[in-house]
Amino acid sequence: MNMTFDLAGKVAIVTGGSRGIGRAIALGFAEAGASVIIAGRSAEQLEAVAEEIRQKGGSVLPRVTDLTIPDDIEGLARDAAETFGRIDILVNNAARSFLRSLLDLREDGWDKIFNTNVKAVWLLSRAVARLMIEQQGGRIINITTVGAEKAEPGMAAYDSSKAALKMLTRCMAREWAPFGIQVNAVGPGLTRTSFSEPIWSNPDIEKHVTSMLPMGRIAEPEEIVPAVLFLASDGASYMTGHTIYVDGGALTG
């Protein structure tokens, strides 16, 4: 058994691979030897990450995809399989959020968050799982958040969607284990990306937020990658249905 993070010869889809945590995961996978399909809506941002991967000698397919459109999701799975012949790993990383109290949140806002963060994950995982079943195995890794465990004011729809994703991870793990598909999740704490920019771009808000974190700082996107690499690797051969939190101790109390 290979107990390293080596992904040589593997093929991985990373949704939201065009920036932030998804970009870091795509670069980490490419460095570990995987061919990577990165998906997002901005062709320009995808191409920039694809060029970074190519410059380092990696193999990459940037695939413009809107995960709220079911046909686009099917097309992503089909193009990935046609280009590389198989799909070994799927990282459901793309998500959306906005700050809104439960009293002010509109129905279409709730739907946008759940369609991207939960429904799209189910649809893409189902499309990919059908291929993985033919291949007799694969890994699916969902990116959740500490908010799945801890309510944050103004984040009700997002936190609820990620708690649903945590359970969807367990449901997929339960149903697809007999086919050799392992499904786990990684839950980051606050991480420096465009997603969290309103917090870290304001020194007063960042100071207030980090003062409540045991490790006293927010994460860099690259710090989330090793947990994802582990779950994608042979080292996680007997693990399914779990969430690993990478949160600087945010959930300790």
Give the footprint of ligand NAP on this chain (CB under 6 A): 15-16, 18-22, 39-42, 45, 65-68, 93-96, 116, 143, 145, 188, 190-191, 193-196
Closer Cβ to ligand NAP, 18 or 125, answer by number: 18
Question: How far is it, in rounded angstroms, from Cα 157 to Cα 4?
Answer: 38
Report the DSSP beta bridge partners of residue 141. 91, 184
- From the list 29, 114, 158, 176, the catalytic residue is 158
In the complex, the smallest distance separating the C-beta of residue 246 from ligand NAP, rounded to whole angstroms, is 9
Length of the chain, in residues: 253
Closer Cβ to ligand NAP, 220 or 234, answer by number: 220
11's enclosing H/E stretch is strand 11-15
Closer Cβ to ligand NAP, 179 or 242, answer by number: 242
Question: How far is it, in rounded angstroms, from Cα 239 to Cα 34?
Answer: 21
Q: Starting from the edge strand earliest in sequence, which strands make up the sheet with 243-246, in order?
A: 60-64, 35-40, 11-15, 89-92, 138-143, 181-188, 243-246
Closer Cβ to ligand NAP, 28 or 188, answer by number: 188
Residue 158 bears catalytic tag: yes
Structure letter (DSSP) for residue 147:
G
Residue 72 CB partners (closer than 8 Å, separation 6+): 65, 66
By beta carbon distance, the residue nearest ligand NAP is 20
Residue 234 CB partners (closer than 8 Å, separation 6+): 1, 2, 3, 4, 6
Catalytic residue ranges: 158
